[in-house]
């Protein structure tokens, strides 16, 4: 019989809490649950903040949040799940960064908290009360942590770079319109 310690229980609580919040957040985007916009509404929002194409961006963010959240909650493929969720939250933080840090002002505090906790879980591992542990850690190997973060970091840089270029083009277009009037 396996005895669980405080660390295992703490990791379980962090996984369930963070994973549950991320899964619900992603379900808002994907399915329109919990007052969310679904793919259509979230796609329009994504377009409005520079993520194009909007529907594809909504799908990618929703899958990273819902899928990463569910996997974190049960403790399966923890490096990939945590990295995917952290990448999605980096994209969310970029949207909220102009409003400062605190969420009450529309800032990135919430996204940063979810992203950092997801990253921390990916690095620390799921603990013994997890599917990863039950499967002998076949999808939770040490080498998977840097591989997952490198892959997600590269994808996140590409997406954020495209968004910055899109916003710059829009701003330049607005300035040209102002000078023409």
CA–CA gap between residue 138 and residue 128 (Å, rounded): 14
Helix/strand number for the chain, H first, E second:
7, 0
Q: Is the peptide bond between 53 and the residue preceding it cis, with omega within 30 degrees of 0?
A: yes
Q: For residue 122, what pLDDT is reported?
A: 97
Span 83-105, mean pLDDT? Answer: 96
**pTM (2 decimals)?**
0.90
The pLDDT of residue 65 is above 70:
yes
Q: Are 49 and 14 in contact (CB under 8 A)?
A: no
pLDDT digits (tens, 9 = 90+) for 21-37: 999 999 999 999 999 99
Please name which of 160, 154, 7 lies closest in space to residue 83, comparing C-alpha atoms. Answer: 154
In a 3-state reduction of DSSP, which class is residue 67?
helix
Q: For residue 36, what pLDDT is reported?
A: 94
Average pLDDT across the chain, whole number: 94
CA–CA gap between residue 122 and residue 110 (Å, rounded): 18
pLDDT digits (tens, 9 = 90+) for 114-161: 999 999 999 999 999 999 999 999 999 999 999 999 999 999 999 999
Give kind and range of the element (H or E) at residue 71: helix 54-74
Q: For residue 4, what pLDDT is reported?
A: 83
Alpha carbon 135 to its chain centroid, in Å, reads: 25
Q: For residue 178, what pLDDT is reported?
A: 53
Band (3; pLDDT cuts 50, 70, 90):
confident
Please, is 176 exposed, middle or buried when counting C-beta atoms within 10 Å of its C-beta (0-12, 13-18, 19+)? exposed
Span 94-101, mean pLDDT? Answer: 96
């Amino acid at each position: 019989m396996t005895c669980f310690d405080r660390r295992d229980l703490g990791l379980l609580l962090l996984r369930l809490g963070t994973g549950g919040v991320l899964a619900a957040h992603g379900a808002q985007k994907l399915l329109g649950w919990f007052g969310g916009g679904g793919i259509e509404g979230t796609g329009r929002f994504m377009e409005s903040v520079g993520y194009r194409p909007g529907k594809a961006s909504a799908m990618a963010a929703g899958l990273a949040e819902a899928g990463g959240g569910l996997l974190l909650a049960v403790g399966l493929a923890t490096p990939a799940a945590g990295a995917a969720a952290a990448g999605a939250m980096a994209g969310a933080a970029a949207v909220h960064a102009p409003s400062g840090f605190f969420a009450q002002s529309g800032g990135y505090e919430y996204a940063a908290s979810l992203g950092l906790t997801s990253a921390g879980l990916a690095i620390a591992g799921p603990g013994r009360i997890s599917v990863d542990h039950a499967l002998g850690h076949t999808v939770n190997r040490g080498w998977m942590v840097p591989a997952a973060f490198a892959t997600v970091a590269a994808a996140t840089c590409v997406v954020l770079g495209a968004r910055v270029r899109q916003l710059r083009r829009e701003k330049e277009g607005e300035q040209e319109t102002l000078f023409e009037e």
